Structure 1
Amino acid sequence: MERRYASHPNEVKQFDTDRLRQEFHIPTLFTADKLELVLTHEDRLIIGGAYPVKQDVKLETDLKELGVSFFLERREIGAINVGGPGTIIVDGTEYDLNTKDCLYVGMGSKEVIFRSKDADKPAKFYLNSAPAHKEFPTAKTTLGEADSSALGSIQNSNDRTIHRFIHADGIQSSQLVMGMTQLKTGNMWNTMPAHVHPRRMEAYMYFDLPEDSVVIHLMGEPTETRHIVMRNEEAVISPSWSIHSGVGTSNYTFIWGMAGDNKIYSDMDAVAMKDLR
């Protein structure tokens, strides 16, 4: 498991492109038959992916980094499938996930196994894990069952649908919040006008992006913005003091995950367009 430290905004102002990417960009989430994990000290969120192709993948890592005897001893995890049909086995119980289905696994679950139903169309499980203080039951929701709402407009190039999976009025968790935003054809902007939420950090994972397309992800303090070029199935860490917005060369989908002081999706501090620099 790779470790990333938290960064102060005054320090980030001095970063060049390479340093910015080293600190916040996660280029590799899916390696065949492996578990890829990155631990950020921003609210100690773990971001990663499980990609079972020819064999199962177990949720396991160097436990010294976490100070526990098994991965979910004091953690919870959310998994969203962005590949073909798959199965997650939690302490012997099987949960089938189609594309864009979500599974929450609560604190105390000892064995989590990721499996694909077809090696020619393998599942890809995108993962977010946060520290937990209370047990909540394992729960699944499909894209069709999610709490969804339409936002934006074609006039502003941000006509999109937001699907909330793990949140205060959906799947219950200790602190993890997860969902997905889908931009309609011809729309490129997400989360603009921008906002910050100093009480929670966030991570984005961009996907459904054509091979020759990119998303310019905007981050930084509202008056000190920076950008990171993102490609398909890559993730980015957003500290609580940073905006998190982007514009693509085509439409795309992204998964957002948050951890911090509360689970209130609408708890955010808006940034006026005139204040962005």
Structure 2
Amino acid sequence: MDIRQSCSPGETRGFDTTQLRTNYLIEDLFRAGEVSMTYSHLDRTVVGGVVPQAKPLLLKSEKQIGSPGFLDRREIGVVNIGGEGRVTADGTDYDLAWTDALYLPMGTADVAFSSTDAANPARFYFVSTPAHATHKAQKITADDAILLDLGTQSDANVRKLRQYIHPEVCASCQLVMGVTLIEDGSVWNTMPCHTHDRRSEAYLYFDMQPKTRVIHLMGEPQETRHLVVGNEQAILSPGWSIHSGCGTGRYGFVWSMAGDNQDFTDMDFVDMGDLR
């Protein structure tokens, strides 16, 4: 399990490209036949990727989790961005197609990931956060999610944002999770940008062509930095940082938040004229 420490705004101002990528970018998230995990000290969030092939893969605890079972004191959200697959949780099967999601609560003992077709494997992305109560396990499809049509063509940011793990859709302790897909001909996401010091966030960029890149903007509004991000790479975003991006082609991203509240609109917007 990779470990990422929290970094202050003061430290981050002095980071070069390598240091920015080392601290905030997860590059090698999906490995065939493996469960890959990164433990971030931003709200103790675990970000993972699972690519099952011929055999199912099990979700196992690690030393950093601090409990015998991975979900003894945690909850988890899973989104499939690959071929059709199945998550089996305590004997119950949940079949997940592309962009289907699954919420599993604290106390879930046994979790296994499998692919319907090993030649076109599922690619399960998951985010796990500490939990204090047990809620109901729930599969959420794109049709089940809350759909928000955002942006304008004149601003090149038309996008569809779907809220999957959200208080009005699926109860959770602190995890909020969803998927945003950028419309053809648009390039920007989350612009105008914002911060939310009460919550940290993670972005997984996906649905990109091999040569497509997203220029992800981060940092304090008056001290912005950038990361060049490829397909199926994830960004860790502290509460003090903006999180926005512009792509060279089609892309989408899975977003997740953890922290003090689950109020999606709890954002501190940044005026475009204040960005530096």
The answer to whether TM tops 0.5 is: yes
* Corresponding residue number in structure 1 for 2:106: 107
Question: CA–CA distance in 1 between the matches of 2:139 and 2:74?
Answer: 17
Which residue identity lines up with residue 26 of structure 1 in the other structure? I
1:7 aligns with 2:16: no
* Corresponding residue number in structure 2 for 1:203: 202
Question: CA–CA distance in 2 between the matches of 1:192 and 1:247?
Answer: 9
* Corresponding residue number in structure 1 for 2:36: 36
Identical columns (%): 47
Q: Offset at 1:137?
A: 1.1
The alignment partner of 1:20 has SS state of helix
Question: CA–CA distance in 2 between the matches of 1:144 and 1:82?
Answer: 16
Q: TM-score, normalised by structure 2?
A: 0.99
C-alpha offsets along residues 63-97 of structure 1, whole Å, 9 cap, x if unaligned? x2121111000000000000011000001110000
Structure 2: which 5+ residue stretches go unaligned?
Answer: none
Q: Is the Cα contact below 8 Å between 2:212 and 2:250 reproduced in 1?
A: no
Q: Offset at 1:30?
A: 0.8
Q: What RMSD, in angstroms, separates the aligned Cα atoms of the two structures?
A: 0.6
Question: CA–CA distance in 2 between the matches of 1:172 and 1:5?
Answer: 29
The alignment partner of 2:94 has SS state of strand
* Corresponding residue number in structure 1 for 2:94: 95
* Corresponding residue number in structure 1 for 2:50: 50
Which residue identity lines up with residue 262 of structure 1 in the other structure? N
Q: Is the Cα contact below 8 Å between 2:88 and 2:113 reproduced in 1?
A: yes
Q: Offset at 1:163?
A: 0.3
* Corresponding residue number in structure 2 for 1:173: 172
Structure 1: which 5+ residue stretches go unaligned?
Answer: none
Q: TM-score, normalised by structure 1?
A: 0.99
C-alpha offsets along residues 175-231 of structure 1, whole Å, 9 cap, x if unaligned? 000000011001000001000000000000000111011000000000000000000
The alignment partner of 2:261 has SS state of coil
Q: Is the Cα contact below 8 Å between 2:89 and 2:112 reproduced in 1?
A: yes
Q: Offset at 1:61?
A: 3.5
For residues 149-228 of structure 1, the aligned pairs below 5 Å read 149-228=148-227
Deviates most, 198-207 or 65-74:
65-74
For residues 266-277 of structure 1, the aligned pairs below 5 Å read 266-277=265-276
Q: Offset at 1:242?
A: 0.2
Greater than 6 Å deviation, 4+ residue runs:
none
Q: Offset at 1:250?
A: 1.0
Q: Offset at 1:108?
A: 0.1
Q: Is the Cα contact below 8 Å between 2:101 and 2:164 reproduced in 1?
A: yes
* Corresponding residue number in structure 2 for 1:19: 19
Q: Offset at 1:251?
A: 2.3
Number of aligned pairs?
276
For residues 71-86 of structure 1, the aligned pairs below 5 Å read 71-86=70-85
* Corresponding residue number in structure 1 for 2:143: 144
1:66 aligns with 2:65: yes
1:247 aligns with 2:246: yes
The alignment partner of 2:228 has SS state of strand
The alignment partner of 1:11 has SS state of helix
Question: CA–CA distance in 1 between the matches of 2:275 and 2:169?
Answer: 33
Which residue identity lines up with residue 138 of structure 1 in the other structure? A
